[in-house]
Chains A and B, each alone.
Chain A
Amino acid sequence: MVEVQGITKQYGGKNVIENISLKIPKGKITSFIGPNGAGKSTLLSVISRLIKADEGNVWIDDKEVSTCNSNELAKKVSILKQANSINIRLTVKELVCFGRFPYSQGRLKKEDWLHIEEAIEYMELKDMEDMYLDQLSGGQKQRAFIAMVIAQNTEYILLDEPLNNLDMKHSVQIMKVLQRLVKDLNKTVVIVIHDINFASCYSDYIVALKDGLVISEGTKEAMMQSDVLKKIYEMEMPIQTINDNKICVYFS
């Protein structure tokens, strides 16, 4: 289980996140939602040790993150940020191979290759595994990066806006993959997401942030309520139930 205790992070004297404490349930998809600048990505980066918090602790399976061996942690938690521009020219397969680094330290063994093949199959990238990343479309590239994370085979997978710049088809495809990861492989997935309807349809638990604070959290049934969402986004959020999913029609 991931537990966050009293995390505060400042940039230039201003608190981006302030005294946040929360527990992320195991074996579920948890979504961080909230307006721009609420501190969602910062929180995710702190949990994954990309950013050091000014105050507070993050516990992953009863171990404090900042005292953990970085390589051991890389076998437990993986993070994918939203901007994934790389300066070097790699093929899909080479990228996925990098995901095995925590285990192989650069020397790939037979077991590593099995994981790599599996991850490529899982993301349906087999027919483009030898293509270079700069030859791929945004959706294919995103899938390649997720394949790298899958090859890393961590219990906890953190994704910062995995649907950014993707069309509907690819968004659904990626969310379905995440759902399968949780169901089939018993992973714990945490995502930052802007589209609350995707959060509603695919996540189990929702955490809402605003101005650096957690203003509400709960199961998706509890969170997908007009009054709760109105408080978060400061606009009318009518909710309708369509095919058992709660959908928010906020467009007009």
Chain B
Amino acid sequence: MNTALPYRRSLRTLVALGLGAGVLSGCSSDSEPAASGGSGDCSSLEGETITIVVPYEPGGGYDSYTRLVAPYIEEEIGATIAVQNQPGAGGLLALNSLLAEDADGTTLAIMNGVGAGGSSIAGAEGANFSLDDFTYIGRVASDPSLLVTSATGPYQTFEDVVAADEFRWGSTGPGAEDYVTSSLISAVFDIPGEVVTGFPGSGETELAVVQGSIDGMSGNLTSRRGAVEDDTQTPVLVVGEERPDWLPEDVPTVAELETTEEQSELLDAHLALIELGRPFVGPPGMDEAAMSCLRTAMAAAMENPELVTESQEQERELAFLPGDELEGLVQDLMDAPPAYSELLATLY
């Protein structure tokens, strides 16, 4: 919750608005040239324009995160960063075209780990890349999911869900995060039921959960917060590593469930995919100097206290993970048991 901000700060915004309003573009017009570029060698990128492609429409989570972080990286490198929206084919369009971009560090994209990464592992149509093709700069945010049920329905815990005779999930459609996670959990825990597909967006799926015409759904963890605190949706399972402090203690994470070895193998692989989260990625085989510059600059930017406060105010939690660690995660995913990719292949 926002406490009252000083009047002065708002006034500063007004001035910034006046400056930026005419431009109508994402790049800020009043950024100062950076004094130093950190330890990475940024000579090749200094003064250049770096484009970060967002594979979705403006206004969504990926767009907001990118626009939130971009100015701070800009400051570190001394380059101009332009955020460009290139929606299409569930985010695959932009990633496919990233493959062919110059690998000099001037074009990056933010990736949807579960959506795009999952498509690639599943060998789904439309994903013309392998996860290890890209150059990983760093993760902006992790992307855990929360399973919720209707607050007025019969299933108020994950045990209820597992014991259900027929549990109906709601989803936008095959390949979407909500479809993949709920189907995967259903398959792993042998929950009978079906996934009702065709909802135009997570808003409408939520509405159906609140109305009780479906039993539950999977969705982005932080986006569920309002509904959970409003008591219209009951949280039952965190599909991620950590439980945030606004969730009741008795809502388990996947790791806290009792599982057989076979189950945990599948769940671990899926958690790795979720861990991939929302990284900035570049074209394959990026120029060494540019890559180390971008990695260093991003690492420094993500620690900037101003960015940290700003992200907290917006309830957009950051979870930085350096590029080399992301490479490790991708390697784990490439080595995942074949049962996992076979299961995924049925979900895209």
Asked if A and B bind, the verdict is: no
